[in-house]
């Protein structure tokens, strides 16, 4: 599906899948997330790391995370999205990661810290994270000094979608604050299933911008964006430790201890 998160001239195409209607109150996006990649040539070492992390959850019950594998990208990489209300809460997470890293040889941990920006987000909560089975991960890597222009353009896009009352689109913007590839933005789209990708919103996007807005958008994105990547993240409940609110939305799914069929 083509979305508003793209540069004119087919320079980049970012996925922004949509979500279906919910029957319960959605969980709000966390203020801060840490994206942790568990890298190893040994797939078994990745599993041992994730299993050990889950076993250590009682060390700090406030630490919660969603684990999964990228369906696309390098070697079906295992990754973890940890959920935090503020930056101070990251300390406990880093303590847990360090402890596990010392006990599981052959694993490299690479991470980045990201902050939620509601201005560049649209319709967060359309699919609650507790009901998500996969996420669209769309990274936009920016030129230094270009972040403000990029944010203004994405804010305009989100505002136009709100004014048009588009219900079948969602993207949640996180600015990369620390880690590799700063400055950058990650746009997450939680999906109840991969079938959400089949919904066509091109008829909305083709009429959303005026001709002048569309031209300006293309210029800004060409000047601001160095590159972009798209990946599909498949949730692995057996390695996750989600919040009680998320767990209550689908207890059977989050209770699984073996790979999702």
Residue 207 lies in a domain: yes
Residue 250 lies in a domain: yes
Distance CA 224, CA 209 (A): 19
Residue 220 lies in a domain: yes
Positive or negative, the CA dihedral 6, 173, 240, 1 is: negative
Residue 216 lies in a domain: yes
Please give the tally of structural domains in the chain. 1
Which pLDDT score is estimated for 105?
Answer: 92
For residue 128, report the phi and psi dihedrals to the nearest 5 degrees. Answer: -65, 145
Whether residue 158 contacts residue 120, with contact meaning beta carbons closer than 8 Å, is answered with yes
Q: Residue 76 is part of a domain; what is its CATH number? A: 3.30.70.100
Which pLDDT score is estimated for 173?
Answer: 98
Please compute, for residue 105, the number of CA atoms within 13 A of its CA located in the half-sphere on the CB side: 0
Which pLDDT score is estimated for 201?
Answer: 84
Which pLDDT score is estimated for 112?
Answer: 97
Which range marks the domain in which residue 199 is found?
A: 32-254
Which pLDDT score is estimated for 18?
Answer: 41
Residue 95 lies in a domain: yes
Residue 245 lies in a domain: yes
Residue 194 lies in a domain: yes
Using H for helix, E for strand and C for coil, what is the string for 139-198?
Answer: EEEECCCCHHHHHHHHHHHHHHHHHHCCCCCCEEEEEEEECCCCCEEEEEEEECCHHHHH
Which pLDDT score is estimated for 28?
Answer: 80
Residue 26 lies in a domain: no
Which pLDDT score is estimated for 11?
Answer: 35
pLDDT (tens, 9 = 90+) of the chain, 261 residues, equals: 444 553 333 333 333 434 333 434 556 899 999 999 999 988 899 999 999 999 999 999 999 999 999 987 655 689 999 999 999 999 999 999 999 999 999 999 999 999 999 999 999 999 999 999 999 999 999 999 999 999 999 999 999 999 999 988 999 999 999 998 899 999 999 999 998 988 888 888 888 888 999 899 999 999 999 999 999 999 999 999 999 999 999 999 999 987 755
């Amino acid at each position: 599906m083509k979305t508003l998160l793209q540069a004119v001239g087919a320079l980049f195409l970012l996925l922004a899948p949509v979500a279906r209607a919910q029957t319960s109150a959605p969980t709000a996006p966390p203020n801060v997330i840490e994206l942790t990649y568990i890298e190893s040539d040994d797939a078994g070492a990745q599993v041992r790391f994730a299993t050990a992390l889950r076993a250590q959850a009682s060390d700090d019950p406030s630490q919660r995370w969603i684990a999964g594998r990228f369906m696309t990208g390098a070697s079906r990489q295992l990754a973890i999205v940890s959920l935090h209300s503020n930056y101070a809460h990251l300390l406990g997470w880093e303590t847990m990661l360090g402890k596990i890293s010392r006990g599981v040889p052959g694993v490299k941990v690479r991470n980045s810290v990201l902050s939620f920006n509601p201005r560049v987000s649209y319709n967060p909560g359309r699919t609650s994270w507790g009901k998500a089975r996969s996420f669209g991960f769309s990274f936009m890597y920016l030129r230094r000094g270009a972040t403000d222009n990029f944010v203004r353009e994405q804010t305009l896009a989100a505002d136009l979608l709100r004014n048009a009352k588009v219900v079948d689109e969602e993207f949640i913007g996180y600015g990369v604050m620390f880690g590799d590839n700063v400055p950058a933005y990650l746009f997450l789209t939680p999906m109840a299933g991969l079938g959400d990708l089949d919904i066509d919103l091109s008829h909305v996007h083709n009429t959303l911008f005026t001709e002048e807005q569309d031209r300006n958008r293309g210029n800004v994105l060409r000047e601001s964006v160095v590159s972009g990547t798209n990946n599909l993240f498949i949730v692995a409940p057996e390695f996750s430790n989600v919040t009680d609110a998320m767990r209550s939305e689908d207890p059977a799914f989050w209770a699984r201890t073996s790979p999702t069929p």
